[in-house]
Amino acid sequence: MSFLSCICISGHHGFSKSSMDQARLLRGIGLEGDVHSGVTVQHRSRVKADPAQPNLRQVHLLHFELIQQLQAEGFNVLPGSMGENLTTVGIDLLGLPPGTLLNIGAEAQLCITGLRNPCKQLDDYQPGLMAAVLERDADGSLVRKAGVMAVVEKGGLIRLADEIVISLPDAQDGPQQKLMPV
């Protein structure tokens, strides 16, 4: 079973986010009260480049299994400390194609848009953390392990331990594509 293990929100630009027992997802916006919510991009570097671009990074999801791996490597990380909004258990987030729908609880639905592109803020938080969430695959391609980004397709209340049901894109739409940074 796949489920939501942590919900984190911050009302100001910073790095880590505070955990909540529940939160409301707003369709086409993001998590109510989170600084990265909005129809247009809210991440400062992207606003600087083009403030009118659509916000494909409304919600940042990270798999708890990565947090456990980083803790085993000696990093002091907890859910929310790397800026993610939702921490999942039991989902290979990085293996999902773009367009995957995540149904959370009774009402809410997210659509995966792409990978989080790890940034220097990880090293500002803890030296070496950025390198720990990057690796190379057998082909030498860069693998970004710092989670995925999503937009809110259906709003609704989400709670800790809500079940997450995955719906992959329709195979009739063509072959599944690999996630790219957004």
Tell whether 121 is covered by a domain. Answer: no
- CATH number reported for the structural domain that contains residue 17 in this entry: 2.40.33.20
* pLDDT given at position 1: 87
Our count of domains for the chain comes to: 1
Determine the Cα–Cα distance for residues 143 and 137; give it in Å rounded to an integer: 7
pTM value is 0.95
- What's the mean per-residue pLDDT of the chain? 95
* pLDDT given at position 119: 87
Determine the Cα–Cα distance for residues 172 and 60; give it in Å rounded to an integer: 28
Tell whether 177 is covered by a domain. Answer: no
Tell whether 25 is covered by a domain. Answer: yes
- For 84-115, the pLDDT digits (tens) are 999 999 999 999 999 999 999 999 999 999 99
Contact 53, 113 (CB under 8 A): no
Please count the other Cβ atoms lying within 10 Å of the Cβ belonging to residue 107: 14
Tell whether 17 is covered by a domain. Answer: yes
Contact 123, 150 (CB under 8 A): no
Q: Which of 150, 169, 165, 130 is nearest to 61 (CA)?
A: 150
More confident: 174 or 159: 159
Tell whether 133 is covered by a domain. Answer: no
* pLDDT given at position 48: 84
Determine the Cα–Cα distance for residues 64 and 86; give it in Å rounded to an integer: 9
- pLDDT over threshold 80, residue 174: no
Tell whether 155 is covered by a domain. Answer: yes
Q: What is the span of the domain harbouring residue 88?
A: 3-114+146-170
Determine the Cα–Cα distance for residues 162 and 6; give it in Å rounded to an integer: 10
Tell whether 28 is covered by a domain. Answer: yes
- For 41-83, the pLDDT digits (tens) are 998 888 888 989 999 999 999 999 999 999 999 999 999 999 9
Tell whether 125 is covered by a domain. Answer: no
